[in-house]
Amino acid sequence: MKLNKTQIHDINQKDLKSHESDFNYLSDKLTNKGLDVNSIVSKLKDFQVAIPSWALGAGGTRFGRFSFYGEPSSLEQKIDDIGVIHALTQTAGAVSLHIPWDIPSDYNAIKEKADALNIKFDAVNSNTFQDQKGAQETYKYGSLSNTSKAVREQAIQHNLDVINIGNKLGSKALTVWLADGSCFPGQNNFQTAFQNTQDSLIDIYKGLPDDWKMLVEYKPYEPNFYSTVIQDWGASLMLANGCGDKAYTLVDLGHHLPNSNIEQIVSILQLKGKLGGFHFNDSKYGDDDLTVGSIKPYALFLIFNELVYGMENNPQNPDLAWMIDASHNVKDPLEDLIQSLEAIQEAYAKALLINQADLKAAQLHHDVVKCQEILQDAYRTDVRALLQQARLDAGGALSPINAYRNLNVRNELITERGKNTVATGL
Ligand code: AOS
Ligand code: ZN
Ligand code: ZN
Ligand code: ZN
């Protein structure tokens, strides 16, 4: 299944007139406020978010998994699906591979496919949270933190293998997320576990090519429920600093205890030049992996406000690796990802409306009311016509969800792949 520009162009015709009037109305309003609409639209066009190779099928919980018809069962098919999302949204120009779930069998074929669909290979993800078939050692009691040297060595080697695989595809970053921790007090010595993790990460870091980054993801709990070795941004930052300049912290929105001020975390990491990557999702309780912006869109906007500030004011911080890390239990995964992309772009567009000079002046005058007015004026603006314009300029769909449905994508996929498919991955 491959969508072409003509199909999308034709579908857009019906809504073109009403889009134009929406866009012109908004464009006038924003121009009158002194904003450069063209530059905002072009920033939206440039903003690309990676889709993880494990998110194209239905997710599940430990209580069960309900498959979704026409799921991809090979890496080729997963890239095809990302191609569909990218053709419609023009925002998903990258894939983030999970190893070993998605090891390419034919590197050239995979690269050619991705190239043809305009998809790049973003960060590669290692997996030392599951035992692999035929593995000598078990990760039941940890991987990089394990008290057994043999286990640590196996986990280090796996990460080096992942770098090697990513290198063949043009990836430039390794994301390390560890499940390591303990389920009960007394089970682990915190200091030993942390020190072992640091030493193991340093060994991996030594194998990192010069132009690569290592992204260290943190998470407070799950699958371990008493302690996690890399439980928060502080632990991640210490470990990254212990490795060197090419190691950074990765923030996953779902990996915080309730009510954490994520925007402040993001802000300070950028000040220190240490924010390397981002996993988008939304949550009500924990690592829920729900559709981005479905629960706390205002929080997402506040995070984007800090990201935009950082992108403009913190040259010490590198470009970020953006990825959606969501799981789809009851929706068509492709529709869910399209909704997430829309929410990300919406929050980004609203953050771009904030007049940073006015905000700074209001802050200096301690005009707290004005500060809030500036943020909320941006947040309350309906920016969807800007997103549509960005997609239109890039050859995407005015409404990706409508186009997806009108083009009958899911049925086509079912015809191609069959009804009872099982996607590999989580
Ligand atoms: C796990 O909770 C993390 O969010 C990871 O980033 C990711 O979902 C996992 O590593 C899948 O490979
Ligand atoms: Zn994540
Ligand atoms: Zn997670
Ligand atoms: Zn998550």
- Kindly report the CA angle at 290 between 249 and 15, in degrees rounded to 5? 110
CB-defined site of ligand 1, < 6 Å: 54, 98, 125, 127, 177, 217, 219, 252, 279, 287, 325
How far does residue 49's CA lie from ligand 2's centre (Å)?
Answer: 14
Q: Which protein residue's CA is at the shortest distance from atom 1 of ligand 1?
A: 177
Cα separation, 212 vs 165, whole angstroms = 13
For residue 125, the ligand 1 atom closest to its alpha carbon is 12
For residue 101, the ligand 1 atom closest to its alpha carbon is 12
**pLDDT tens digits for range 135-187:** 999 999 999 999 999 999 999 999 999 999 999 999 999 999 999 999 999 99
List beta partners, residue 371: none
How far does residue 226's CA lie from ligand 1's centre (Å)?
Answer: 19
Name the closest ligand to CA 252: 2
How far does residue 281's CA lie from ligand 4's centre (Å)?
Answer: 6
For residue 129, the ligand 1 atom closest to its alpha carbon is 10
How far does residue 313's CA lie from ligand 1's centre (Å)?
Answer: 30
In order along its 426 residues, the chain shows pLDDT tens digits of 899 999 999 999 999 999 999 999 999 999 999 999 999 999 999 999 999 999 999 888 888 888 889 999 999 999 999 999 999 999 999 999 999 999 999 999 999 999 999 999 999 999 999 999 999 999 999 999 999 999 999 999 999 999 999 999 999 999 999 999 999 999 999 999 999 999 999 999 999 999 999 999 999 999 999 999 999 999 999 999 999 999 999 999 999 999 999 999 999 999 999 999 999 999 999 999 999 999 999 999 999 999 999 999 999 999 999 999 999 999 999 999 999 999 999 999 999 999 999 999 999 999 999 999 999 999 999 999 999 999 999 999 999 999 999 999 999 999 999 876 766 555
For residue 325, the ligand 1 atom closest to its alpha carbon is 8
Name the closest ligand to CA 177: 1
Q: Which protein residue's CA is at the shortest distance from atom 6 of ligand 1?
A: 177
Half-sphere exposure of 33 (CA within 13 A, CB side): 18
**One-letter-per-residue 3-state SS of the chain:** CCCCHHHHHHHHHHHHHHHHHHHHHHHHHHHHCCCCHHHHHHHHHHCCCEEECCCCCCCCECCECCCCCCCCCCHHHHHHHHHHHHHHHCCCCEEECECCCCCCCCHHHHHHHHHHCCCEECCEECCCCCCCCCCCCCCCCCCCCCCCHHHHHHHHHHHHHHHHHHHHHCCCEEEECCCCEECCCCCCCHHHHHHHHHHHHHHHHHCCCCCCEEEEECCCCCCCCCEECCCCHHHHHHHHHHHCCCEEEEEECCCCCCCCCHHHHHHHHHHCCCEEEEEECECCCCCCCECCCCCCHHHHHHHHHHHHHHHHHCCCCCCCEEEECCCCCCCCHHHHHHHHHHHHHHHHHHHHCCCHHHHHHHHHCCCHHHHHHHHHHHHCCCCHHHHHHHHHHHCCCCCHHHHHHHCCHHHHHHHHHCCCCCCCCC
How far does residue 22's CA lie from ligand 4's centre (Å)?
Answer: 35
> Which residue type, as a one-letter code, is found at position 288?
D
Phi-psi domain of 249 (left: phi exceeds 0; alpha: psi -120 through 50; beta: other)? beta
For residue 254, the ligand 1 atom closest to its alpha carbon is 4
Pocket test for ligand 1, best of 217, 218, 219, 290 (most atoms within 8 A of CB): 217
Q: Which protein residue's CA is at the shortest distance from atom 8 of ligand 1?
A: 325
Q: Which protein residue's CA is at the shortest distance from atom 5 of ligand 1?
A: 177
CATH topology of domain 48-340: TIM Barrel (3.20.20)
What residues have their beta carbon closer than 5 A to ion ligand 3?
Answer: 287
Pocket test for ligand 1, best of 122, 125, 225 (most atoms within 8 A of CB): 125
How far does residue 256's CA lie from ligand 4's centre (Å)?
Answer: 10
pLDDT number for residue 208: 98
How far does residue 238's CA lie from ligand 1's centre (Å)?
Answer: 20
Instruction: Record the pTM.
Output: 0.97
How far does residue 320's CA lie from ligand 2's centre (Å)?
Answer: 14
